[in-house]
């Protein structure tokens, strides 16, 4: 069912990345599986995105990137400026989940914007090192966005508003256009870590929804 989505994403990923490109919503919904199936699929997609984030961090622990000292310091570092790690969701249920889904779309899109900034800086400055890892993470997050969009669609809502609200400008200038390669790797490492934290929190929200839906 997602073939058109994947086609749109391939198109998107092969487009040159310009700094102010808004996150286009590539998602189209053709038929709607049961809510339980959608929630389960979305949770599975989080695991795939999490794997891509792990792969990015593993690459950055490899030779030529971050030293043990760097990693020690970064393992204890707070998250990147303005990057949300949690969707606020008091009292979340399947009947009141539309606001939660909208906020999830916004925050997943924000993570995509950060990944796109990291990717375009690696491509521009660093002989395309980490291009594979960052591109994979970007596409897994786009697929996750489409899962959330499909869920919103079930409730007659959508993720369309992100088209006008999320672009590279959500990434603060202090952590953009980093010229020093090591500092760029550090930013990208924390980004991988933050994305994993966010996905863990989002998974907990979705487990809540799944449990309530199955009761
Ligand atoms: C992400 O991967 C880590 C292993 O590094 C694992 O502990 C964690 O549960 C995973 N999170 C999700 C959301 O799958
Ligand atoms: C930093 O944390 C990761 C797990 O998130 C671990 O694999 C790695 O060994 C740690 N690095 C250091 C130097 O402690
Ligand atoms: C949570 O939702 C229930 C039922 O919808 C409601 O009775 C309760 O007041 C809500 N609690 C909070 C803290 O919003
Ligand atoms: C969505 O809209 C359709 C038709 O406009 C309606 O039949 C359906 O009940 C709506 N569903 C929800 C969850 O509001």
Instruction: Find the DSSP H helices in the chain.
Output: 3-13, 35-61, 68-75, 98-125, 131-154, 162-165, 181-214
The DSSP annotation for 48-109 comes to HHHHHHHHHHHHHHSTTS--HHHHHHHHTPPPPTT-------TT--SSS-HHHHHHHHHHHH
Protein residue closest via CA to atom 1 of ligand 1? 50
Nearest-atom number in ligand 3 for the CA of 95 is 5
Atom 12, ligand 3: residue with shortest CA distance:
91
The alpha carbon of 149 and the centre of ligand 1 are apart by a number of angstroms equal to 23
Predicted local distance difference test score (pLDDT) of residue 21? 56
Alpha carbons within 13 angstroms on the beta-carbon side of residue 38 total 23
Ligand 4 centre distance from Cα of residue 25 (Å)? 22
DSSP state of 191: H
Supply the pLDDT for residue 17. 38
Q: How far apart are CA 215 and CA 202, in angstroms?
A: 20
Ligand 4 centre and the CA of 94: distance in Å? Answer: 15
Give the pLDDT confidence score for residue 163 in this predicted structure. 67
- Domains located in the chain, CATH noted: 41-214 (1.20.1250.10)
Three-state DSSP class for 121?
A: helix
Please name the residue whose Cα sits nearest to atom 5 of ligand 3.
91
Q: Which residue has the least CA distance to atom 1 on ligand 3? A: 91
Q: Along the 215 residues of the chain, how does pLDDT read in single tens digits?
A: 233 333 333 333 333 334 445 677 777 777 778 999 999 999 999 999 999 999 999 999 999 999 999 999 998 887 899 999 999 998 899 899 999 999 999 999 999 999 999 999 999 998 889 999 999 999 999 999 999 998 998 888 888 766 667 888 899 999 999 989 999 999 999 999 999 999 999 999 999 999 988 76
Number of Cβ atoms within 10 Å of the Cβ of 132: 13
Predicted pLDDT of residue 45: 97
Closest approach atom of ligand 3 to CA 96: 5
The dihedral through the CA atoms of 173, 175, 177, 180 has a sign that is positive
Q: Is the CB of 164 inside a 6 Å radius of any atom of ligand 3?
A: no
User: Which residues does a 6 A CB cutoff place in the pocket of ligand 4?
Assistant: 155-156
pTM for the model stands at 0.85
91 lines ligand 3 (CB under 6 A): yes
């Amino acid at each position: 069912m997602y073939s058109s989505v994947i086609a749109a994403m391939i198109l998107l990923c092969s487009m040159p990345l310009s700094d102010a490109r808004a996150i286009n919503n590539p998602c189209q919904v053709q038929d709607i599986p049961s809510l339980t199936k959608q929630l389960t699929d979305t949770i599975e997609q989080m695991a795939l995105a999490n794997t891509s984030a792990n792969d990015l961090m593993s690459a950055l622990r490899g030779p030529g990137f971050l030293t043990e000292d760097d990693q020690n310091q970064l393992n204890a570092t707070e998250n990147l400026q303005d990057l949300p790690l949690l969707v606020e969701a008091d009292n979340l249920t399947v009947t009141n989940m539309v606001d939660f889904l909208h906020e999830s779309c916004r925050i997943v899109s924000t993570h995509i914007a950060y990944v796109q900034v990291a990717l375009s800086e690696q491509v521009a400055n660093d002989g395309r090192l980490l291009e594979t890892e960052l591109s994979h993470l970007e596409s897994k997050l786009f697929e996750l966005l489409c899962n959330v969009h499909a869920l919103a669609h079930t409730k007659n809502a959508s993720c369309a508003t992100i088209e006008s609200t999320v672009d590279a400008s959500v990434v603060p200038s202090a952590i953009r256009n980093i010229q020093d390669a090591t500092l760029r790797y550090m930013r990208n490492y924390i980004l991988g870590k933050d994305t994993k934290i966010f996905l863990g929190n989002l998974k907990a929200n979705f487990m809540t929804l799944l449990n309530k839906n199955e009761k």
